Structure 1
Amino acid sequence: MTAEPADDTRSRILRAALDLFAEHGYQRTSLRQIGERLRLTKAAILYHFPAKEHLLAALVEPLLSDLEGLLDAAEELPAERARQAVLEGWVDTILTHRRPLGMLFHDIAPITRGDTYHRLMRISMRAIDVIAGPQAGRRERVRAVQAVAMCSDPVVFFTDVSDEVLRADMLDGVRRLLAAPVDTAGAGPRRRPGRPRALDREQIEAARRMYASGEHSVDAIAAALHVSRATVYRHLQQAGPTNETV
């Protein structure tokens, strides 16, 4: 029997580690447990990852690399296009790496002790600079910090929401934040009560895809997007006839 390629063993270790970290948490998962799941010795794990912290860093690396690539490309664009590229690209990247991000949220302590944390902070600061724009003041930079959080945090708290619905909600929220006038008097922009009357482009597309799949009723789509049934139905009618009536 031929030996398993080293890359395959390394990938198997990473997949098993992510599964166990998700099940039990980083702190409560040992290298021995990872080895037992794969029928490998602890020495075999240590050959590829000299310490458990190296496993964590390797699991987070694709997320960090993708975010750095996004920022490298966005920083070559004009300010407004760069902002939009970062907002949409950040959400898409975070959604792509939902599982490792959830693991980080529940076991952030090990990350704060290493270079990975400082790298993540540098990435976040670059994103804040792009979103805030040139010559941004304190208020604009505060909003940029909030925008980065809005493009990241919901994936941890809404694990039962599909990628496309969550993407639409996250982009809608951050665009509303950045579009609202900056309140120089300290009272904040006036907020109209009730649910929003309209959906943005991403939410409309998500609603139509959900309805077309045949797995979601108009009521279910309205609940997922936090709008009225009539609002959803209006946008579905614009795309063609439906089988439901208001």
Structure 2
Amino acid sequence: MTVEAPDDTRTRILRAALDLFAEHGYQRTPLRQIGERLRLTKAAILYHFPTKEHLLTALIEPLVSDLEALLAAAEAGPPERARATVLEGWVDTMLAHRRPLGMLFHDIALVTRGDTYHRLMRIAMRANDLIAGVDAGRRERVRAVQAVAMCSDPVVFFADVPNAVLRADMLDGVRRLLGDPPVDSDPTGDSGPVGDTGTAGVRRRPGRPRAMGPEQVETARRMHAEGAHTADEIAAALGVSRATLYRHLDPATGE
């Protein structure tokens, strides 16, 4: 099988289409405009994508495929881990596809056409079942639907928030909705009055926590490795003190 070059014509067309769709909207971007940006004729674009809808489908396909792979992994794994696998994986997948999601936000009705819509509906139903759990009642199923939205919508509405910070906020919120014990206090540091109780009925301790969960440690190291955040910013995003942050970073590497 021949492997296409990373910058082949098809890839260039998809990249330009995503830029223009995100900037002007799908409906207001003719194929001619994509061709002009790439110095290609309309016929050259139609050779790779017979219609503009084929372009849209190709842009959405990686997101849809990744979600299907996520659910397959959750279904194949231990049942007791299915909910966490779906929630964490869903957030990570949404964050990995932020640009196509931003494009779809302006033209969401487009995905109601063809097979892509039916695939997305099947994905949503499978995710709802895995999150709600076996023998779930109406209330659990309603919360499962809400959970999927909580693991998706903020990616579009908070486009200026860094991935690692938004990931921590989204997972914290969905755990509170479902009554799961939060990994730590509110990542913004605004966890409510001292002594307030969370959805799991656990009384919050005053001040910032002195320990970080495995997920927070991973997030802290990722943010530190990106080099775009100071230690104070990372600590504030995770709701811990600077000293707590440093205790959980590798003292030998500073990561």
Q: TM-score if structure 2 supplies the norm length?
A: 0.77
1:74–1:85 CA contact under 8 A, matched in 2: yes
Q: Are 1:47 and 2:47 matched, yes or no?
A: yes
1:172–1:200 CA contact under 8 A, matched in 2: no
Secondary structure of 2:29 counterpart? coil
Offset of residue 205 of structure 1: 3.7
Please name the residue that 1:96 is paired with. 96
Q: Are 1:123 and 2:132 matched, yes or no?
A: no
Offset of residue 201 of structure 1: 3.5
1:146-183 deviations in Å (ceiling 9; x for gaps): 111111111111112222222222222222222259xx
2:21–2:29 CA contact under 8 A, matched in 1: yes
- Residue type of the partner of 2:137? G
Specify which of 245, 248, 253 is matched with residue 236 of structure 1.
245
Q: Which residues of 2 match residues 206-245 of structure 1 at below 5 A?
A: 206-207=219-220, 209-210=222-223, 215-217=228-230, 219-225=232-238, 227=239, 231-239=240-248
Where structure 2 has 5 or more consecutive residues not aligned to the other structure, the ranges are 182-197
Offset of residue 126 of structure 1: 0.5
Please name the residue that 2:25 is paired with. 25
CA distance in 1, matches of 2:206, 2:46: 54
Q: Are 1:38 and 2:51 matched, yes or no?
A: no
CA distance in 1, matches of 2:53, 2:106: 15
1:10–1:48 CA contact under 8 A, matched in 2: yes
Offset of residue 71 of structure 1: 0.9
Residue 236 and residue 108 in structure 1: after superposition, are their counterparts in 2 closer, same or farther (change >3 A)? Answer: same
Aligned pairs, number? 228
CA distance in 1, matches of 2:105, 2:204: 32
1:22-62 deviations in Å (ceiling 9; x for gaps): 11111111100001111111111111111111100000001
CA distance in 1, matches of 2:242, 2:250: 10
1:207–1:221 CA contact under 8 A, matched in 2: yes
Please name the residue that 1:76 is paired with. 76
Residue 209 and residue 91 in structure 1: after superposition, are their counterparts in 2 closer, same or farther (change >3 A)? Answer: closer
Secondary structure of 2:229 counterpart? coil
Q: Which residues of 2 match residues 117-156 of structure 1 at below 5 A?
A: 117-156=117-156
Q: Are 1:202 and 2:215 matched, yes or no?
A: yes
CA distance in 2, matches of 1:233, 1:159: 26
Q: CA RMSD in A?
A: 3.0
CA distance in 1, matches of 2:144, 2:117: 20
Percent of counterpart pairs with the same letter?
74
2:232–2:242 CA contact under 8 A, matched in 1: no
Please name the residue that 1:185 is paired with. none
Offset of residue 16 of structure 1: 0.7
- Residue type of the partner of 2:41? T
Residue 67 and residue 213 in structure 1: after superposition, are their counterparts in 2 closer, same or farther (change >3 A)? Answer: closer
Offset of residue 223 of structure 1: 4.7
Offset of residue 238 of structure 1: 2.9
1:207–1:232 CA contact under 8 A, matched in 2: no
Q: Which residues of 2 match residues 175-186 of structure 1 at below 5 A?
A: 175-179=175-179
When you count helix as a share of all residues, which structure comes out higher? Answer: 1
